[in-house]
Structure 1
Amino acid sequence: MASDVLVRLENLSKHFAGGIVGLNDINLSIDEGEFLSLLGPSGCGKTTTLRVIAGFEAPTEGVVRLDGKDITPLRAFDRPVNTVFQDYALFPHMSVAENVGFGLSLRKIAGAERRKRVAAALDMVGLADKINQRVQALSGGQRQRVALARAIVCEPRVLLLDEPLSALDAHLREQMQVELKRLQRELGTTFVMVTHDQTEALSISDRIVVMNKAEIEQIASPSVLYDQPATRFVAGFIGTMNLLDARLAGREASLLRFTAGALSLNMPASGAVGLKTGDAATIGIRPEDIQVSPNRIEGSVAVTVESVVFHGRSLRVHLRTQDKYSLTADIPRQSELAAMTVGEHFFASLRPGAACPVLPA
């Protein structure tokens, strides 16, 4: 992935009628050739951000730059940016070739050159054999590929994708995630995708922008977001996380000892810079870092099984401590504990060596 900044959003805000804040002072740099995802719940501002980059919405304040140049006043058609919409927005009365070549015809690209570029785009998305078919005869996945081909055929500097896979079934969606990433690597084009699906964002993005309430919570790679969430919102939104209200009970060599109710947690000191003994904090623990045992060990707490949910290779077990803390743990199906049932009693503790984020209380 290149490191040169291609798109820069500077102090971007968008206010809608009725006092609705769509974006609040957004600053974001998007690198040349990267796959960036805007992730967050409905209404967080991710689609508004995409539409401002595309030129479909004018910001109330702030600037959009491309290659350092202010493109804020430019109309959508005058920007080197194309968009793949959630509903694909294909023309049902046109053939596949006519749909893909529509943008080229508006740009007055000659017939022979247009046909060559249309064929190349369809070959890239695996639809070379569908070139003369009507889009109405295609499946949902094939229509999505046509929409992609139509977007890339004009060779945009930035390709914007507004939840492009949301209309597909789960199996096809997973296939298309792989195809999207392959296509982006082959083209070397900057992709910016809006999604509310964290699994989708984690699987194909170089970086993810997590948004909440019209603001950016964190920008990082998938691994950093998963292992080192910067805020309680990110910790709870990315994957499944046990968020425990805890207090720093003391320091032992290079470890910090936290207590969350009756649960004792020993973690590396690097995770809680500036905390003093007695200070409150929120500890994030992934389900895979909760170990469950029939026997009490040092630092463990007694728990009762509240539910067991089948998760393929593992079981997602919901536990409750005697002091009413709720814990979620993942148990391998090959484990001797896989036969546990609701109401049984065990002991839960933090897996030794687990890297748990320490967040503000």
Structure 2
Amino acid sequence: MATDALLRLDSVSKHFSGGIVGLNNINLSIAEGEFLSLLGPSGCGKTTTLRVIAGFEAPTEGEIRLDGKDITPLRAFDRPVNTVFQDYALFPHMSVAENVGFGLSLRKIAASERRKRVAAALDMVGLADKINQRVQALSGGQRQRVALARAIICEPRVLLLDEPLSALDAHLREQMQVELKRLQRELGTTFVMVTHDQTEALSISDRIVVMNKAAIEQIASPSVLYDRPATAFVAGFIGTSNLLKVRLVSRDASVLRFAAGTLSLDVPSNGNTDLQPGDGATLGVRPEDILVSYERAEGSVGASVESVVFHGRSLRVHLLTEDKDSLTADIPRQAEPAAMATGEHIFVSLRPGASCPILPS
């Protein structure tokens, strides 16, 4: 992935009628050749961000710059940007080839060149054999590929994807995630995707923009977002996290010892906090970092099993500690306590070496 800033949103805000704030002072730089996802709950501003980039919405304040040029005044059609919509927006009365070549026909590309580029685009998305079919005869996954071919054929500088996989079933969705990443890598085009599916964003993005209440909470790679969330919102939204109110008991050069009631949590310090003994904080603890045992260990706390949910290779166990803290733990099915049942009494502790982010309270 290149590091040049291709697209920039500088202090972009969008206000709708009735005092509704769609975007609040968004600053975002997107690199050339990057696969960037906008992730967040409904109403967080991710789709509005996409529409502002596309030119479907005009920002109330701020600028959108592409290749260093201010494109804010340009109409959607005049921007070197294409969009794949959630419902694909294909023309039902046209064949696959006519749908894919529609943008080229508007640009007055010669018919022979158009046929050549349509065939190449369909070959890239694996639909060369469907070139003369009607779109109504295609499956959902095939229609999604047609929409992608139609978007890439005009060679946009930025390809925008508005929840492009949301209409697909789970198995096909996973296949198309792989295909999207392959296509983006082969084209070298900058992709900006809106999704509310965290697994989807984590699996194919170079970076993720986590949004909440019309603002950006954090921008980072998937691994950084998961391991080092900057806020409690990000910790709770990216995966599952136990947000524990803790007190710092002691610290040295390598270890911070926290206490959540009678539960002791030793966390690598990494020089990442100014907390002093006695200070309170919020600790993000992932379910896989909670150890469950039938035997009491040093620093562990007793807990009762509230529920057990089957997750394939693991069990997700919801616990209530003796200190009345709710915890979620993920237990591999081959582990000793994996046969536990609701109502059992067990002991929980923190996995040694677990890197638990200290979050703003």
Match of 2:42 in 1: 42
Match of 2:349 in 1: 349
Do the aligned residues in 2 keep the contact of 1:7 with 1:65 (CA within 8 Å)? Answer: yes
Residue 267 of structure 1 aligns to which amino acid in structure 2?
A: V
CA offset digits 1:248-298 (Å, max 9, x no partner): 112245211111111111112236511122111110011110001111111
TM-score by length of structure 2 reads: 0.99
Separation in structure 2 between the aligned mates of residue 207 and residue 242 of structure 1, nearest angstrom = 24
* 1:214 lines up with 2:214 in the alignment: yes
RMSD between superposed Cα atoms in Å: 0.8
Match of 2:295 in 1: 295
Separation in structure 2 between the aligned mates of residue 360 and residue 271 of structure 1, nearest angstrom = 16
Residue 220 of structure 1 aligns to which amino acid in structure 2?
A: A
* Structure-to-structure mapping, 1:181-192, within 5 angstroms: 181-192=181-192
For residue 328 of structure 2, give the secondary structure of its aligned residue in structure 1.
strand
CA offset digits 1:134-165 (Å, max 9, x no partner): 00010000000000000000000000000000
Separation in structure 2 between the aligned mates of residue 251 and residue 160 of structure 1, nearest angstrom = 47
* 1:24 lines up with 2:24 in the alignment: yes
Separation in structure 2 between the aligned mates of residue 108 and residue 39 of structure 1, nearest angstrom = 37
Residue 104 of structure 1 aligns to which amino acid in structure 2?
A: L
Residue 86 of structure 2 aligns to which amino acid in structure 1?
A: Q
For residue 108 of structure 1, give the secondary structure of its aligned residue in structure 2.
coil
Identity of aligned residues (%): 84
Separation in structure 1 between the aligned mates of residue 330 and residue 32 of structure 2, nearest angstrom = 39
* 1:178 lines up with 2:178 in the alignment: yes
Match of 1:62 in 2: 62
For residue 270 of structure 2, give the secondary structure of its aligned residue in structure 1.
helix
Separation in structure 2 between the aligned mates of residue 264 and residue 63 of structure 1, nearest angstrom = 49
* Structure-to-structure mapping, 1:185-264, within 5 angstroms: 185-264=185-264
CA 1:91–1:271 in 2, change beyond 3 Å: closer, same or farther? Answer: farther
Q: CA deviation at 1:323?
A: 1.7
Do the aligned residues in 2 keep the contact of 1:290 with 1:349 (CA within 8 Å)? Answer: yes
Separation in structure 2 between the aligned mates of residue 173 and residue 360 of structure 1, nearest angstrom = 35
Do the aligned residues in 2 keep the contact of 1:271 with 1:357 (CA within 8 Å)? Answer: no
The answer to which of 254-263 and 222-231 deviates more is: 254-263
Residue 215 of structure 2 aligns to which amino acid in structure 1?
A: E
Separation in structure 2 between the aligned mates of residue 332 and residue 273 of structure 1, nearest angstrom = 32
Match of 2:113 in 1: 113
* 1:285 lines up with 2:285 in the alignment: yes
Match of 2:104 in 1: 104
Do the aligned residues in 2 keep the contact of 1:302 with 1:321 (CA within 8 Å)? Answer: yes
CA 1:282–1:181 in 2, change beyond 3 Å: closer, same or farther? Answer: same
* 1:336 lines up with 2:336 in the alignment: yes
TM-score by length of structure 1 reads: 0.99
Q: CA deviation at 1:42?
A: 0.3
Separation in structure 1 between the aligned mates of residue 269 and residue 97 of structure 2, nearest angstrom = 60
Q: How many residues align?
A: 361
CA offset digits 1:160-188 (Å, max 9, x no partner): 00000000000000000000000000000
For residue 175 of structure 1, give the secondary structure of its aligned residue in structure 2.
helix
Match of 1:167 in 2: 167
For residue 298 of structure 2, give the secondary structure of its aligned residue in structure 1.
coil
Residue 256 of structure 1 aligns to which amino acid in structure 2?
A: L
Residue 281 of structure 1 aligns to which amino acid in structure 2?
A: A
Match of 1:149 in 2: 149
CA offset digits 1:187-238 (Å, max 9, x no partner): 0000000000000000000000000000000000000000000000000000
For residue 270 of structure 1, give the secondary structure of its aligned residue in structure 2.
coil
Structure 1 spans left out of the alignment, 5+ residues: none
Do the aligned residues in 1 keep the contact of 2:256 with 2:266 (CA within 8 Å)? Answer: yes
* 1:322 lines up with 2:342 in the alignment: no
Do the aligned residues in 1 keep the contact of 2:268 with 2:355 (CA within 8 Å)? Answer: yes
Separation in structure 2 between the aligned mates of residue 243 and residue 56 of structure 1, nearest angstrom = 39
Separation in structure 2 between the aligned mates of residue 170 and residue 360 of structure 1, nearest angstrom = 35
Separation in structure 2 between the aligned mates of residue 271 and residue 307 of structure 1, nearest angstrom = 37
Do the aligned residues in 2 keep the contact of 1:271 with 1:358 (CA within 8 Å)? Answer: no
Q: CA deviation at 1:344?
A: 0.6
Q: CA deviation at 1:127?
A: 0.4
Structure 2 spans left out of the alignment, 5+ residues: none
Do the aligned residues in 1 keep the contact of 2:253 with 2:271 (CA within 8 Å)? Answer: no
